[in-house]
Structures are given as C-alpha cells and as structure tokens.
Amino acid sequence: MKIRSVLISQPKPETEKSPYYEVAKSQKVSLEFKPFIHVEGVTAAELRKQKVDFSEYGCVVLTSKSSVDHYFRLAQEMRFSIPETMKYFCASETIALYMQKYIVYRKRKIFHGTNGVEDLLDNFKKNKTERFLFPCSDKHSDKITDFLNKNKIAFTKAAFYKTVSSDMSQFPVQDFDMLVFFSPNGVESLSKNFPDFKQGNIHVGTFGEGTAQAAEASGLVVQLKAPMPKAPSMAMALEWYLKQVNGKSNK
C-alpha cells in the first residue's frame, strides 16, 4: 500500500524553503505538521526551589532554542543582569545565532558545535575553573550530563521549562499512512492521547536511538529509523523511505 499522507509530529516549518516541502512535492505525498508536545516555562519561584543563583555561573550550556528563551526570560524575571563576560556554549550554530534575539552577538563569547556540545570539549577544558549552568527540560536525556561528568566539568543542571503532552484526543491520527516521531516524549504523548491506538498498516518513523527505543517499548513497529549514514536528517531519510515503499507498491 502506498504512503499518501504523513504526519510529522513537529510544528510547521517557519520557512517555505523547508526540505520537507521538497519531499512532499517530489514524492507526491501530503504532509501535515502537528506537535505532539509543547513547552511550558517554569516560574521564577519554581527555579528558586532548585536553588539556582545566576550570579554563581560564568558559563551557560544551551542545547535548544527553548533553553535560550527560558534562560533569558528567567534571568530577567529574577532581575539578574547577565554580564557581557558570560560565555555561551551552544549545541549548534543555529542555536548560537538564535541568541541574537537577546544579545549583541559579536560582543559576546559564544562557542558552538556542529553535532552537539560534545564538539566543544577543548573549549570546556579551557574553562575548567568556571562553573557552568545547564538550563534544560524536566524530561531531558542524560547525554549532556554524562558528557560533562565524564570530563569533570563543574555544572548545575536545572529545569527551566517543562515538556508537556499536547491535547490531541480529537485529532484524526488514525487517518494517516505514516507517523514520524522525534523524541520519546512525542511517543509518550501518542500513548496518552490515544490509549487504544492500533498501528495496523500505519508506518512509523523515528529520529534518534532513544525515540526508536521508546516507540518499540510502547508496542509500535518502527519501519524507518533515522538518522542513517546517507540520510543524516529526517527529511532525507523520509524521502529515501518513501521511494522504497511507494516505488515498490503496485497499488
């Protein structure tokens, strides 16, 4: 059976130049974007309970746009004036550039990796005498903390925002030929919103090892696991998979 409709469990791309639109056009499928999860920021009172004092840290580790947004939001709410000497360790260039929303980029000490903050090991080592603040979700993986602990970096992890399942109970998820997930939290949201969900002939794609494991643990059969050596992005992996399935279909 051909795949004609795909549900991408992320927000709709902000630009029409998204590779997903090229995939939809070239493979003649309809794509719908629907985030299964959303982010809610913690309050200043909730952060104080975690005993976070902004003034104690000379460096901050930022791994997502949400961590950037809520770091600057809570600093302002707690009336902390972030010094120009603050050093920012970002997981990617995209996240680093996103900080221009809050600071004058060229006047700050900003480091960014290509595939994650692990790329910045030398920079971390050069700042071993500093204390690092790691703002993250209440449901983050241990990948970053394991990396920091392994390299004996002094850091404090704090939940600056919460990852919450979106209400999708009235959404026709069963009408799609394929579902694509990007995090274990997205898989968990499917189970919460549709406790009686039956996969049947629906194809499932996942991005990241943890997401695939969560999907399989929930009883789903995962046909597409990204990233792959020749398809590092989900868009590329999805295009490859659609060619395999639809190209072989006789229907």
- Band (248; pLDDT cuts 50, 70, 90): low
41, 113 contact by CB (below 8 A): no
Q: HSE of 224 in the Cβ direction (CA atoms, 13 Å)? A: 29
Residues 197 and 146: their CA atoms lie apart, in Å, by 35
Q: 5-36+166-248 maps to which CATH number?
A: 3.40.50.10090
Q: Which of 58-72, 106-120, 193-207 has the lowest mean pLDDT?
A: 106-120
Position 108 pLDDT exceeds 90: no
Residue ranges of the chain that CATH labels 3.40.50.10090 = 5-36+166-248, 40-163
Q: How far is CA 209 from CA 39, 196, 222, 228, 231, in A?
A: 22, 25, 11, 11, 15
Helix (H) or strand (E) holding 73: helix 65-77
- For 164, the enclosing helix (H) or strand (E) is strand 155-165
pLDDT on residue 50? 96
Average pLDDT, the chain: 93
Q: Which residues pair with 136 in a beta bridge?
A: 159
| Predicted local distance difference test score (pLDDT) of residue 213 | 94
| Res 249 pLDDT > 70 | no
Phi, psi torsion values for 189, nearest 5 degrees: -65, -40
Contact 206, 215 (CB under 8 A): yes
Count of residues in the chain = 251
Query: Which residues make Cβ contacts (< 8 Å) with residue 224, sequence separation at least 6?
Result: 180, 203, 204, 205, 206, 237, 238, 241
Q: Is pLDDT above 90 for 46?
A: yes
Give the CA distances from residue 6 to residues 3, 50, 111, 150, 246, in Å, rounded to whole numbers and listed in that order. 7, 41, 36, 40, 13
Least confident of 107-111, 124-128, 199-203, 211-215: 107-111
| Helix/strand/coil percent split, the chain, to 5 | 40, 20, 40
What is the structure's pLDDT at 141? 74
Compute the distance between CA of residue 52 and CA of residue 135 in angstroms, rounded to an integer. 10
Percentage with pLDDT > 70 across the chain: 98
Predicted confidence band of residue 250 (pLDDT cuts 50, 70, 90): very low
Domain 40-163 fold: Rossmann fold (3.40.50)
**Total-model pTM:** 0.74
Average pLDDT of span 101-115? 88
Helix (H, G, I), strand (E, B), or coil: what is residue 199?
coil
pLDDT-derived band at 251 (thresholds 50, 70, 90) equals very low
CA atoms of 8 and 173, how far apart (whole Å): 11
